[in-house]
Amino acid sequence: MKKNTMLTLAVLALLIAIIPSLYKNYSSKSSYKVIEVVPHIYLSVDSFSDGLATVELYPDQFGLIDRDGHYVVAPKYSSIEPFYDDIALVSINNEVDIDGEILSSKYGFINKSGYEIAPPKYDYAWGFSEDLAIVRIGDWETGKWGFIDKTGLEIVPLIYDDAFSFSEDLALVKHSGNQTSKYGFIDKAGKEVVLFKYDSAFPFSEGLAAVNIGGDLDEWGDVISGKWGFIDKTGFEVVPPKYDSVWSFYDDVTVVELNGKWGFIDKTGVEVIPPKYDSVWSFYDDLAEVELDGKWGFINKTGDEVVPIRYDSVWAFSEGLAAVNIGGDLDEWGGVTGGKWGFIDKTGVEIVPPQYDFVYGFFEGFAKVELNGKQGFIDKDGVEVVPIKYDYVWDFYDDLASVNIGGNADENGLISGGKWGFVDKEGTEVIRLIYQWAWDYSESLVAVQSVNSTIGFINKTGQVVVPLIYSGARNFSEGFAWVNRGGTMSEDGSGYILGGKFGFVDSAGIEAVRPKYEEALDFSEGLAAVKLNGKWGFIKLEAPIK
């Protein structure tokens, strides 16, 4: 008995000696210095971008701060959209009912200095395109549209019934005249360069714009009936309106429909491929998918059927190969069920004969394939580089792909159960399938979840860098990842963590910030947003002294 007691004490002593060394980086005393750059006073915040962050001080009172926490824009707007070309759309709630519901808002624009280039006075506004922005005064039914420049000057008066952003120096607008409302085009000076005589039109693309005569709008706002053609920037009808439907030009050709058949025309209106197909898609990589009598193939721009029209379904080319199906049927959603899938090259040669139950497009030289309920990967020669034995596989990322055996997906595609690991591009299981879940690699580390539901990080060799002791974690950003203790992961697959406390670990496994925050966002531009006592602020970290 005494001998057993002595042995037990010896083992206990050994554990006491070992455990601190295993967790020496996880003491409550971090070697990093945490600096509170922005005090915890905000109801919500966004991460920093281009030196600015949006903050909400009071309900629906948003402003902008710089990286020192100073106000660039005092909290006064109901919303601030992301900056684009150094200008952001802002709004204020103009009218709110007794329950706090927004009845109407006013819109304007600010620059990165916080200057209101256009005060919030418009009932609607859209972002700048070609240095001009659409604005409206009035409601959707009776309001009038115009354009302002980046100084806020109303370059085009607000007199139009509808307007679209400028494209190729011209804007599509709708104007009432003689009790009818028609579409035409104006230039950036507001000059009407195309007469208002069309019932519908598309913005200019590659020098031409589609126009419609005689069409009506359906309940969804789409144009039905009428005839379509194309005009140039002088208003000349290069293609007189005669087609039932058209698409915008792309790569010098466009799709047209006539009497239920589809083809292609060039910019002179010549039918380079007469309307004879039951369905077509735009050219991509000089080839277009076409359907005839329920079968699909590919044509080139001269109309040659480079891939015979004999497949039950085809996908667009990806990395030089296209997926094709033989024997499949369309389901109620337009997807293909049944049959077998393979891959062809641009000459129509079946590089991978149709033999798989399902395939995915090529990515980084590999395609995921499925056979008899199992998944794996093939290369561009059709070689099965990763055996088709896994229940689920994800695409390669940073030269590794996560794989699962034993898992099941619910109706929303959320996978649960089984074990996850990683394979390399030669099919070797470089990280054994021992984890309950695995995320994607970020900055050479990946978060994994143990069978006990604890989370940590491993490197590409499978070595544990951050011990699996956390309730939640996020991918690394700027050398740090937030981690959570005591929380529970939501069951909707979003990865959102409920409750617990948040902190940060670095890529060496050091717990840089002990978990004490209620929420946290990724580091961005050297700062991380954290929530404490119900309010948000920002912190930065000073590296440990070596």
Q: Which residues of 213-226 are buried (b: 16+ CB within 10 A; e: fewer)?
A: bebeeeeeeebeeb
User: Helix or strand or coil: residue 4?
Assistant: helix
455-458 and 446-449 as β-strands: parallel, antiparallel, unpaired? antiparallel
Between β-strands 237-243 and 227-231, what pairing exists: parallel, antiparallel or unpaired? Answer: antiparallel
Tens of pLDDT, residues 23-81: 334 444 567 999 999 999 999 999 999 999 999 999 999 999 999 999 999 999 999 99
Q: Has residue 477 got a pLDDT over 60?
A: yes
| Nearest to 392, CA basis, from 374, 410, 378, 379 | 374
Structure confidence by residue, pLDDT tens digits, 248-277:
999 999 999 999 999 999 999 999 999 999
pLDDT at 412: 81
- Confidence band, pLDDT 50/70/90 cuts, at residue 502: very high
Place of tokens 């395609």: 367
Whether 20 shows a pLDDT value over 90: the answer reads: no
Number of residues that make up the chain: 546
Q: Which sign does the torsion angle of CA 82, 85, 86, 89 carry?
A: negative
User: How far is the C-alpha of 207 from the C-alpha of 181, rounded, in Å?
Assistant: 25
Average pLDDT over residues 440-467: 94
Structure token pair of residue 182: 């028609």
Place of tokens 């915008």: 248
The CA distances from residue 18 to 11, 401, 468, 469, in Å, are 10, 34, 17, 16
Distance CA 335, CA 346 (A): 23
Q: What is the pTM of this model?
A: 0.86
462 with 468: CB under 8 angstroms?
A: no
φ, ψ of residue 9 to 5 degrees: the values are -65, -35
> Residue 178: its pLDDT value, please?
61
Distance from the first to the final alpha carbon of the chain: 49
User: 374: how many CB neighbours lie within 10 A of its CB?
Assistant: 16
Please enumerate in sequence order all residues whose Cβ is within 8 A of that of 18, keeping only pairs 6 or more positions apart, or say none: none
Mean pLDDT of the chain: 91
* Residue from 366, 536, 420, 505 nearest 27 by CA: 505
Q: What is the arithmetic mean of pLDDT over 277-301?
A: 96
Q: Helix (H) and strand (E) counts for the chain?
A: 1, 60
Q: Are 323 and 339 contacting, i.e. CB atoms less than 8 angstroms apart?
A: no
* Whether 167 contacts 129, CB under 8 Å: yes
H/E element, 420: strand 419-423
How far apart are the C-alpha atoms of 479 and 295, rounded to whole Å? Answer: 52
Q: How many other CB atoms are found less than 10 A from the CB of residue 255?
A: 24
**pLDDT tens-digit series, residues 362-417:** 999 999 999 999 999 999 999 999 999 999 999 999 899 999 999 999 888 888 89
Convert 161-198 to b/e letters by CB count within 10 Å (16 or more is b): bbbbbbbeebbbbbbeeeeeebbbbbebebeeebebeb
> What separation in angstroms does the CA of 342 have from each of 15, 140, 445, 512?
56, 50, 34, 50
The 3-state secondary structure of 165-207, one letter per residue = CCECCEEEEEEEECCEEEEEEECCCCCEEEEEEECEECCCECC
R_g of the chain computed on alpha carbons: 30
- Residue 347 has φ and ψ, to the nearest 5°, of -100, 0
Interval 524-535 mean pLDDT: 98
How far apart, in whole angstroms, are the C-alpha atoms of residue 230 and residue 256?
11
* Rounded distance between C-alpha atoms, residue 376 and residue 426, angstroms: 12
Q: Quick one: 135 exposed, middle or buried, by C-beta within 10 A (0-12, 13-18, 19+)?
A: buried
Could you tell me the CA-to-CA distances from 45 to 80, 86, 514 in Å, in that order?
A: 11, 20, 21
The tokens describing 185, both together, are 């085009």
pLDDT of residue 369: 98
Look at strands 237-243 and 273-277 and give their pairing: unpaired
Give the pLDDT confidence score for residue 543 in this predicted structure. Answer: 84
